[in-house]
Structure 1
Amino acid sequence: MTVPQNFVYGNSIRKQIVKEIRDAYVAHEKWVRRAKHLVENLPVDEKMIPVDSTECQFGQWLYGNGMKYKNIAKLSDILHKIELEHRNLHDTYLRIYKIYFLETKRSWIMNLVTQSRKEVTPKKQQEALHYYHQMVKISTVLLESLEVLEASLVMQKDDVLLTFS
């Protein structure tokens, strides 16, 4: 039996899509884990947990390759939900960030010679922990939506997937 070329190529595109989505999934999990380390008072470089939702690896995927799927019927809503949850997650993390790091803009020279991390009281640490638990809930919804996106993309017909090659 001969397999049509489009089918083979369609499967290749499916594999690439799945890899991209799973890489974004893992990047997101790492970002959340770094936020947890911060709340647990472990050493964390603030640059490793970007506040801006477009600067983290997941955000770079979402606003890059992820958005190219928004024109597929029904996927636009899923992507919109992922985008909202992602922003919500970063907004919640910003509250943690403000507890642990100085907010003032400093010159790059000052960044080299001073630390931007604050001393955190036990009460503020509990507040940060509360925000972290909110982040975990938001993250769970985001990742579930990402899984729905992946399943929906994998189920697309080859001719739809071929438009992404």
Structure 2
Amino acid sequence: MPDIADRETVLLQIRKAKTAHLRWRAYAMALSSGYAVEEGQLPLQPTECQFGCWYYGAGQELKNLPAFKAIEAPHQRLHKIYSDIFQQLFDQPEPPFWKKLLGSTTTLTTAQDVEARIDELTACSREMLENLEALEKQIASEML
């Protein structure tokens, strides 16, 4: 654990990482809803997003704290779920001619599947944020 002088810096890093995660989630939700998002704003790998860069980089200074350890599993699941959503939306084979003619590019099942996966993604994000808040509280309490 860093000394008291460095804890403020660590808290600031955690808050920046949390903001990066919230931004990533907003982009994921927008893309899943059909809005255009620039390439690179939504890395599929957990080590490539801004949050992951902090978590697997400078954040490793906190790796012995239980709240820090508790963040990894939901973060990994979040990226797996998003990867599944991405594949459902963008790696689909060419739709049948009649669907093109009617202007439909997704089936009801796919739309329902994507919506269910978005709910899972939101739940993982919520779990991550709760663990981040627990981590912040632990570090802040040790400053007193």
TM bin, normalised by shorter chain, reads 0.7 to 0.9
Per the normalisation by structure 1, the TM-score is: 0.71
Note the alpha carbon deviations across 1:72-103, whole angstroms, 9 max, x for none: xxx1x222210111001111111101012239
Q: Select 1:95's aligned residue among 68, 84, 87.
A: 84
1:81 aligns with 2:78: no
Q: Quick one: which amino acid aligns to residue 134 of structure 1?
A: E
Note the alpha carbon deviations across 1:5-31, whole angstroms, 9 max, x for none: xxxx82x42221111000000100111
User: Which structure: larger Rg?
Assistant: 1
- Partner of residue 127, structure 1: 113
Cα deviation for residue 67 of structure 1 reads 1.3
Structure 2: state its 5+ residue gaps. Answer: 93-104
> Counterpart of 2:45 in 1: which secondary structure?
coil
- Partner of residue 35, structure 1: 28
Q: Is the 8 A contact 2:7 2:143 kept in 1?
A: no
Per the normalisation by structure 2, the TM-score is: 0.81
1:146 aligns with 2:132: yes
Percent pairwise identity: 32
Give 1:39-78 correspondences, 5 Å limit: 39-71=32-64, 75=65, 77-78=66-67
Cα deviation for residue 128 of structure 1 reads 1.2
Cα deviation for residue 144 of structure 1 reads 0.4
Structure 1: state its 5+ residue gaps. Answer: 1-8, 104-118, 159-165
Note the alpha carbon deviations across 1:93-134, whole angstroms, 9 max, x for none: 11101012239xxxxxxxxxxxxxxx5444323321211111
Give the direction of change, closer, same or farther, for the CA distance of 1:24–1:131 in structure 2 (3 Å limit).
same
Q: Is the 8 A contact 1:99 1:120 kept in 2?
A: no
- The total of aligned residue pairs comes to 130
Give 1:14-29 correspondences, 5 Å limit: 14-29=7-22
Partners of 2:122 and 2:36 in 1: how far apart? 20
